[in-house]
């Protein structure tokens, strides 16, 4: 009965759009004849947009090619196997949870910043046509058509443009790529900094204060100087669609999602809940160690550690597996989820473990500044009125 | 493994006759050094499985060809030792290389018994010795197989058939 009432309220909510609402559930996207499909998603939610992408990857015909275009609100998006404690400044993100969301995507690669001046493009296609440059080249042709003739794909499969003569850099990155390969489908998705007003804000979010204390397994980002292409959003979207159509033909399905209609699909909702969960964002983190002092495995010199206490721990999936204080193992710290605000602070725990109050306070506050204070507020489900 | 495109290879190599030394070396160079069992079988998704003589257990990995196509592996998401049965073709893990997350799929219906922890610390092992099922090798998981799984193994390709398949591009 509850399920019925939920469905009823959704139908009511989308009553005016009932025909369009069915695009995600109707046979059209999954029908074998829909070989070429173009979706424009107007939601600013990165987790929603990635969930629609995931749903289309799983439901569209294996031999079809799909273009999805979307623009996210300010978000830091990390790769599937990255470490948010190493790749981002969680304190900066904690200070502005409603402004910048941390998201872990399902594809590989490094950390990027998204905002309303960044266009995300995604091509879903059969894996046997997988080529890391093919669709970056498509975007390059779109940029050429808009007069940005220096745009090109570099050896890292990124799109770069020439820097002005007076610049220290030869090129600036404007677009990065990531890929997901499954048995039946491949996704190549990428960013394009079209006219981001926040370029100067990006750096601090993507620089971790704990970098020199952490040694992590997984995928590390490669830093590149970035800039805007400096074109308007609408012509860019049109140019990318145009180039996609030149490659694959006119679309059999062309759909603009104005109201997060995909949320009515159980699979999209489920994927969205997973991407929003701290168990995915933080709990998917590969094993890492944190050490205030050089160790055999990580001999880098450290500095800036206040207090006199040596702290070392190893965490897997965001949970402490082993914790040492002055080389003595502390079983009480085992099992702490680094991404959840704990009932007792680092300082309290260190004091309980035997540090005097002042030392525990100094070391505890420093650990908090390194590792972030706790989990992010979960955003409420995406709402259509947030659409740009 | 997801199907992997030949388009990652230089066109010249793709168009070259199958028997050129390059193809033989890149795709199958360690066949002679790997302990070959008659029962090693391959999937079209580029996984391999060795079935024990009693057909109850096996070892699973990705093929040399797949490892070659992936490029430098930076992380291996190992299967969960969950104790539940996984159906043929379902994802059991993933490999990240050159910004790509590629699924590793169950070659047959199986249950994960143990995983190769070495790949967590040294993911490049999967590039070097992907078909080595010994200690220090690039195998992914030891598995339990039931009757249905053992039957599915029968239908997979043997080394010779897989070699032809991989060289011919599906």
Q: What is the pLDDT of residues B89-140, one digit of tens each?
A: 999 999 999 999 999 999 999 999 999 999 999 999 999 999 999 999 999 9
**B31 has a pLDDT exceeding 60:** no
Give A166's pLDDT tier (boundaries 50, 70, 90): confident
Helix segments in chain A, DSSP class H: 2-13, 18-21, 27-30, 46-59, 84-87, 90-95, 134-145, 199-205, 233-248, 266-276, 278-281, 346-352, 357-371
**pLDDT, tens digit, 9 for 90 and up, residues B41-86:** 999 999 999 999 899 999 999 999 999 988 999 999 999 988 899 9
Q: Which residues of B touch A (CB under 8 A)?
A: 2-8, 45, 74-75, 77, 89, 91, 94, 96-103, 105, 120-121, 123, 169-170
Q: Distance, in angstroms, between B165 CA and closest chain A CA?
A: 14
pLDDT at B169: 58
Chain B partners within 8 Å of A108 (Cβ) = 96-101
**Cα distances (Å, whole numbers) of residue A322 to A316, A319, A325:** 10, 9, 10
**Cα distances (Å, whole numbers) of residue A159 to A82, A327, B75:** 22, 47, 24
Residue in B with minimal Cα distance to A156: B98
Asked if A222 reaches chain B (Cβ–Cβ under 8 Å), the answer is: no
The answer to whether A264 and A87 have CB atoms below 8 angstroms apart is: no
Percent of chain B's residues with pLDDT above 90: 69
Q: What is the ipTM of this complex?
A: 0.85
Nearest Cβ partner for A107 among B2, B6, B101: B101
Per the CB < 8 Å rule, is A110 touching B4?
Answer: no
Q: Distance, in angstroms, between A183 CA and closest chain B CA?
A: 4
Asked if A286 reaches chain B (Cβ–Cβ under 8 Å), the answer is: yes
Per the CB < 8 Å rule, is A178 touching B4?
Answer: no
Task: Give pTM, 2 decimals.
Answer: 0.86
**A290 has a pLDDT exceeding 70:** yes
**Cα distances (Å, whole numbers) of residue B117 to A264, B66, B78, B140:** 41, 20, 8, 9
Q: Distance, in angstroms, between B25 CA and closest chain A CA?
A: 22
The answer to whether A178 and A123 have CB atoms below 8 angstroms apart is: no
**Tokens (6 digits) for A369:** 């500044």
pLDDT at A5: 28
Q: Distance, in angstroms, between B160 CA and closest chain A CA?
A: 22
pLDDT at A165: 75
Per the CB < 8 Å rule, is B96 touching A79?
Answer: yes
Nearest Cβ partner for A131 among B5, B99, B101: B5
**pLDDT, tens digit, 9 for 90 and up, residues A364-386:** 989 988 998 654 444 444 544 43
**pLDDT, tens digit, 9 for 90 and up, residues A39-61:** 999 999 999 999 999 999 999 99
- Can you say whether residue A147 is alpha, beta or left, with left for phi > 0 and alpha for psi between -120 and 50 degrees? left
Average pLDDT, chain A: 87
Q: Report which of B120, B154, B150 is spatially closest to residue B138, judged by C-alpha positions.
A: B120
Per the CB < 8 Å rule, is B121 touching A217?
Answer: yes
**A3 has a pLDDT exceeding 50:** no
pLDDT at B82: 85
Considering the domain B39-169, what is its CATH architecture? Answer: Beta Barrel (2.40)
Nearest Cβ partner for A157 among B97, B99, B170: B99
Where do the structural domains in chain B lie, given as residue ranges? 39-169
Q: Which residue has the higher pLDDT, A27 or B5?
A: A27
**Tokens (6 digits) for A179:** 């890929």
Average pLDDT over residues B134-161: 95
**Tokens (6 digits) for A215:** 């040694």
Per the CB < 8 Å rule, is B75 touching A106?
Answer: no
Percent of chain A's residues with pLDDT above 90: 71
pLDDT at A373: 62
pLDDT at A12: 34
């Amino acid at each position: 009965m509850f399920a019925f009432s939920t469905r009823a309220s959704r139908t009511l909510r989308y009553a005016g759009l009932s025909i369009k609402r069915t695009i995600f559930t109707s046979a059209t996207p999954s029908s074998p004849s829909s070989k070429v499909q173009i979706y424009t998603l107007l939601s600013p939610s990165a987790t929603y947009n990635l969930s629609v992408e995931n749903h289309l990857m799983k439901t569209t015909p294996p031999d079809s090619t799909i273009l999805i275009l979307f623009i996210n609100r300010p978000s830091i998006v990390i790769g599937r196997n990255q470490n948010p404690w190493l790749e981002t400044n969680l304190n900066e993100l904690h200070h502005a949870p409603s402004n910048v969301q941390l998201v872990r995507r399902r594809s590989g690669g490094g950390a990027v910043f998204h905002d309303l001046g960044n266009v995300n493009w995604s091509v879903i296609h059969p894996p046997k046509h997988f080529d890391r440059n093919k669709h970056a080249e498509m975007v390059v042709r779109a940029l050429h058509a808009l007069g940005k003739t220096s745009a090109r794909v570099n050896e890292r499969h990124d799109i770069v443009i020439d820097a002005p003569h007076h610049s220290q850099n030869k090129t600036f990155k404007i677009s990065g790529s990531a890929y997901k390969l499954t048995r039946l489908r491949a996704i190549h998705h990428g960013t394009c900094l079209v006219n981001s007003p926040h370029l100067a804000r990006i750096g601090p979010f993507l620089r971790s204060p704990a970098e020199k204390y952490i040694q992590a397994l997984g995928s590390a980002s490669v830093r590149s100087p970035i800039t805007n292409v400096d074109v308007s959003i609408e012509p860019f979207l049109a140019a990318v669609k145009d180039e996609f159509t030149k490659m694959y033909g006119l679309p059999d399905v062309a759909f603009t999602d104005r109201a997060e209609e995909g949320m009515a699909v159980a699979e999209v909702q489920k994927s969205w809940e997973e991407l929003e969960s701290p168990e995915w964002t933080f709990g998917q983190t590969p094993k890492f160690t944190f050490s205030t002092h050089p160790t055999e495995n990580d001999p880098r010199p450290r500095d800036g550690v206040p207090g006199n206490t040596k702290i070392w721990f190893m965490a897997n999936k965001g949970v402490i597996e082993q914790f040492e204080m002055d080389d003595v193992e502390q079983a009480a710290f085992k099992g702490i989820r680094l991404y959840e605000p704990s009932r007792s602070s680092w300082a309290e725990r260190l004091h309980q473990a035997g540090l005097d109050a002042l030392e525990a306070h100094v070391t505890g506050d420093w650990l908090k500044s390194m590792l972030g204070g706790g989990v992010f507020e979960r955003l409420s489900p995406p709402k259509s009125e947030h659409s740009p | 493994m997801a199907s992997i495109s030949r388009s990652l290879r230089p066109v010249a190599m793709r168009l070259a006759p199958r028997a050129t030394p390059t193809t033989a070396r890149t795709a199958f160079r360690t066949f002679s050094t790997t302990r070959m069992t008659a029962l090693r079988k391959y999937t079209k998704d580029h996984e391999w499985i060795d079935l024990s003589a009693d057909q109850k257990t096996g070892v699973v990995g990705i093929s040399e060809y797949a490892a070659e196509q992936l490029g430098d592996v930076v992380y291996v998401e190992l299967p969960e030792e969950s104790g539940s049965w996984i159906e043929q073709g379902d994802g059991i893990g993933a490999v990240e290389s050159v910004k790509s997350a590629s699924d590793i799929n169950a070659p047959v219906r199986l249950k994960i018994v143990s995983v190769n922890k070495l790949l967590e610390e040294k993911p490049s092992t999967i590039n070097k010795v992907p078909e080595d099922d010994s200690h220090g090798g690039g195998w992914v998981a030891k598995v339990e197989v039931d009757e249905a799984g053992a039957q599915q193994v029968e239908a997979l390709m043997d080394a010779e058939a897989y070699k032809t398949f991989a060289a011919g591009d599906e």
